[in-house]
Amino acid sequence: MHLPMSARLDAILSLLLPCRELADVCSDHGLVPVVAVLRGIAQRAVCADLRAAPLEVARQNIARAALADRVIVLQGDGLAPLVTRNADAVVIAGVSGALIVRLLAAHPEVTRGLTQLILQPNQDVDVVRAWALDAGLHLCAERMVEERGTFFPICSFRQGEGRDPLYEHPDWSVRELCVLGPLLIAQRDAAALRAYTQQRDRLGKLVAKGFTAREPEHALWSRACEALVPVGS
């Protein structure tokens, strides 16, 4: 069956590797876990959300896909419903980076058992990257998705040994890479270039109006744009 998937949700699924049980935290409509099972990426899945109303929509999507035996709905705050589960993959998407970090940090016993985390913050992606770095998680994939004029960074993390080497770069500090995304820079991501150009231009207008405190930010995004320009352009 066909379920409508946005470019953002499709990109999230594209980063998800085969797993035993996927938990979609702050699941809302439940499309990610349902489609993950339909596509054979996840053997089974959990839709977890604090609110009852969106979980009712998730139940409807599960029923439409005839997956009631493989996708379940659990109501609760963040990862709390997963404490008694055995999920090996978690997706958290469409909320702030600060909330993502709060939910993950609240249940380290769950996060330690995960083989992969796909995180898509609507803001403060630097907070997510910095938390993952401190938590011993390694960044293994990044994508920037543009949808209706809005840009969404998506990060995939796995358990790692030692400090993530992606943040050891001669041209960028750890803080700068948490803001920009080491893989987006390395891969010269085209959507990231558009997003960072937008940031550079916005800050440039503020600097031109006399907001000199924004000059360091403007300089950072300007450097990022230069780094993302395709070779030979």
pLDDT confidence bin for 232, thresholds 50/70/90? low
pLDDT of 4 strictly over 80: no
Average pLDDT, stretch 84-106?
96
* Run of H or E including 90: strand 89-95
- Residue 1's pLDDT band (cuts 50, 70, 90): low
Q: Residue 77 burial (CB < 10 Å; 0-12/13-18/19+)? A: middle
Nearest residue to 79 (alpha-carbon basis) of 53, 56, 55, 111? 111
Average pLDDT on 83-97 reads 96
Determine contact, residues 214/206, Cβ cutoff 8 Å: yes
Query: Where would I find the H helices in 2-157?
Result: 7-15, 31-38, 52-64, 97-106, 108-111, 125-134
Instruction: Report residue 197 as tokens.
Output: 């150009």
- Burial annotation 45-75 (CB, 10 A radius, 16+ → b, else e): bbbbbbeeebbebbbebbeebebeebbbbbe
How high is the pLDDT of residue 49?
94
Residue 28 pLDDT grade (very low, low, confident, very high; cuts 50, 70, 90): confident
Task: Encode pLDDT of 44-64 as tens digits.
Answer: 999 999 999 989 999 999 999
Q: How many CB atoms lie within 10 A of CB 105?
A: 14
pLDDT tens for residues 191-205? Answer: 999 999 999 999 999
Cα angle value 86/27/140 (rounded, 5°): 65
The reply to whether the predicted model has a pTM over 0.85 is yes
Task: Please give the structure tokens belonging to residue 51.
Answer: 């609110």
pLDDT-based confidence at residue 19 (cuts at 50, 70, 90) = very high
The torsion angles phi and psi of 192, rounded to 5 degrees, stand at -65, -40
Tell me what the pLDDT averaged over the chain comes to: 95
**Can you state the percent helix, strand and coil of the chain, rounding each to 5?**
45, 25, 30
Residues in Cβ contact with 203 at an 8 Å cutoff, skipping those fewer than 6 apart = 214, 217, 218, 221
- CA nearest 130: which of 180, 169, 186? 180
Tens digit of pLDDT for each residue in 120-166? 999 999 999 999 999 999 999 999 999 999 999 999 999 999 999 99
Whole-angstrom Cα distance, residue 15 to residue 18? 10
Whether the predicted pLDDT of 185 surpasses 80: yes
- Domain range summary for the chain, segments of one domain joined by +: 7-164, 191-228
**Reported confidence tier of residue 5, pLDDT bands at 50, 70, 90:** confident
pLDDT band of 82, cuts 50, 70, 90: very high
The domain covering 7-164 belongs, at the CATH homologous superfamily level, to: Vaccinia Virus protein VP39 (3.40.50.150)
CA-based nearest residue to 27, from 92, 105, 108: 92
Q: Which residues of 16-41 are buried (b: 16+ CB within 10 A; e: fewer)?
A: beebebbbbbbbbbbbbbbbbbbeeb
